[in-house]
């Protein structure tokens, strides 16, 4: 029997408080949330040396020092300069150095050259973060209730923005460490979380009109809205993620040598970059190993495959006689609560191009550049990864990357129409 979506998993907002909460409680709530997120960034940076924080291993990655400074610039630019009359800029040059892609906010340093900026130092960036933290804390603590209502949406998007960079800090430092022949570890005790529940079989979704996208009073990015209806099914979506053991079978069957399995652009990548295995995999004395946050480790056959591009995921699905789910098939299936491993393991490629929903509207001003202008030539991933901060994602959350990207914690699950 097809599974019902009546038992949908509710959307979760980690910062939600009752609408009727007293002003003092609301103020304290946001002070606590701000401190918690800012401290988590520093916790993730703590195992790294100053040298580690400077390196930029490719144009798509950024130095850890830059992530720490950029997330501070975000609060400075969009919150403090606009709403805190007494705020004094820490360093006027930082706006140029640590803006990312907000063209409306002013000129910025070239992204591929971020690793060339040895000054300001890591210590100066730490001082910058403390300067911004003190000012934001003061602003939230002293703002009149009417003003606080204006500030909170900016604080909230700033916190979710910083959580995105917390994940990027781990993906970017892993890529940098993977270039080091000594295979250093970020955290020697790191391991994937255990999967609880059955990962066997498929979840069947009958054909029907389903609502997708975010609808609620909590936070969601603009690209998750508006909620709308779409036709889904009939389709079978795998409960579990594709594993390393399954990927090894694909490799053993010549998956990287059969052009008929690949999209044209994907096959061009295989030939140009010499892909023969997922990113960070290497054969050491006949054994497949992978670079992880714990250093170089043997491949766990039961773990979900990770660091594969969309091209590879699509080729594997074709080899398996199946396909990748669309993002809406994935979302409807995830709302049942039966996609074990959907969160805190690896992001999952879907076969959906990253595009606006019907009625999509951006935020006003420079914050409107956050998502909308990237809705071209990229593919949607759903779920989350072990590097995603707890509580950051929702079943409506849309991640997106170019189809060739492999440095992210990206994997896949399969779907079938038969």
**Which whole number is the average pLDDT over 88-95?**
97
Q: Can you tell me the distance from the alpha carbon of 21 to that of 92, in angstroms, rounded to the nearest whole number?
A: 38
Q: Is 223 exposed, middle or buried (0-12, 13-18, 19+ CB in 10 A)?
A: buried
The lowest-confidence range among 44-48, 150-154, 196-200, 252-256 is 196-200
Whether pLDDT at 340 is above 90 = no
Per-position b or e across 287-323, b if 16+ CB within 10 A of its CB: ebbbbbbebbeebeeebbbbbbbbbbbbbbbbbbebb
Q: What is the pTM for the complete model shown?
A: 0.93
What pLDDT is attached to residue 203?
95
Q: Can you tell me the distance from the alpha carbon of 209 to that of 321, in angstroms, rounded to the nearest whole number?
A: 26
Q: Is 237 exposed, middle or buried (0-12, 13-18, 19+ CB in 10 A)?
A: buried
Please give the angle made by the CA atoms of 344, 167 and 52, to the nearest 5 degrees.
Answer: 130
Give 222-253 pLDDT, tens digit per residue: 999 999 999 999 999 999 999 999 999 999 99
Whether pLDDT at 197 is above 80 = no
What pLDDT is attached to residue 9?
38
Whether pLDDT at 360 is above 50 = yes
Please give the angle made by the CA atoms of 194, 200 and 205, to the nearest 5 degrees.
Answer: 115
Q: Can you tell me the distance from the alpha carbon of 55 to that of 261, in angstroms, rounded to the nearest whole number?
A: 37
**Is the Cβ–Cβ distance between 410 and 346 less than 8 Å?**
yes
The lowest-confidence range among 4-8, 72-76, 266-270 is 4-8
Exposure of 110 in the CB half-sphere (CA atoms within 13 A): 5
Domains within the chain, CATH numbers bracketed: 23-178 (1.20.120), 202-416 (3.90.1580.10)
Whether pLDDT at 3 is above 90 = no
Cis ω before 124 (30° cut-off from 0): no
**Which whole number is the average pLDDT over 66-70?**
98
Give 106-147 pLDDT, tens digit per residue: 999 999 999 999 999 999 999 999 999 999 999 999 999 999
**Is the Cβ–Cβ distance between 180 and 174 less than 8 Å?**
no
**Which whole number is the average pLDDT over 284-304?**
96
């Amino acid at each position: 029997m097809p599974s019902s979506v009546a038992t949908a998993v509710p959307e979760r907002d980690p910062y939600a408080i009752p609408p009727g909460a007293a002003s003092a409680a609301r103020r304290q709530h946001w002070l606590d949330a701000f401190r918690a997120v800012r401290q988590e960034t520093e916790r993730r940076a703590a195992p790294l040396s100053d040298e580690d924080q400077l390196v930029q291993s490719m144009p798509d990655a950024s130095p850890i020092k830059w992530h720490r400074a950029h997330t501070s610039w975000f609060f400075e630019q969009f919150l403090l300069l606009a709403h805190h009359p007494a705020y004094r800029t820490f360093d006027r040059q930082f706006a140029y150095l640590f803006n990312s892609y907000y063209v409306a906010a002013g000129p910025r340093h070239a992204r591929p050259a971020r690793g060339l900026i040895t000054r300001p130092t890591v210590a100066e960036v730490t001082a910058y973060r403390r300067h911004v933290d003190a000012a934001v804390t003061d602003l939230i603590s002293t703002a009149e209730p009417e003003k606080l209502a204006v500030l909170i949406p900016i604080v909230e998007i700033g916190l979710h923005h910083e959580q995105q960079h917390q994940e990027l800090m781990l993906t970017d430092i892993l890529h940098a460490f993977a270039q080091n022949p000594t295979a250093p570890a970020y955290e020697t005790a790191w391991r994937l979380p255990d999967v609880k529940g059955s990962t066997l079989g498929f979840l069947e979704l009958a054909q029907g009109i389903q609502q997708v996208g975010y609808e609620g009073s909590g936070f969601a990015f603009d690209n998750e809205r508006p909620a709308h209806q779409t036709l889904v099914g009939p389709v079978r979506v795998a409960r579990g993620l594709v594993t390393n053991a399954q990927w090894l079978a694909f490799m053993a069957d010549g998956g990287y040598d059969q052009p008929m399995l690949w999209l044209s652009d994907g096959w061009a990548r295989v030939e140009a970059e010499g892909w023969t295995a997922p990113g960070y995999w290497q054969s050491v004395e006949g054994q497949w190993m992978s670079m992880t946050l714990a250093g170089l480790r043997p491949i766990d056959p039961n773990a979900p495959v990770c660091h594969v591009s969309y091209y590879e995921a699509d080729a594997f699905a074709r080899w398996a006689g199946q396909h990748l789910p669309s993002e809406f098939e994935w979302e409807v299936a995830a709302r049942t609560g039966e996609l074990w491993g959907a969160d805190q393991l690896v992001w999952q490629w879907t076969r959906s191009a990253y595009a606006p929903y019907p009625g999509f509207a951006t935020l006003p001003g420079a914050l409107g550049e956050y998502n909308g202008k990237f809705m071209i030539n990229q593919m949607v991933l759903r779920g989350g990864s072990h590097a995603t901060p707890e509580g950051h994602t929702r079943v409506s959350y849309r991640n997106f990357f170019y189809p060739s990207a492999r440095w992210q914690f990206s994997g896949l699950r399969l779907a079938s129409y038969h």
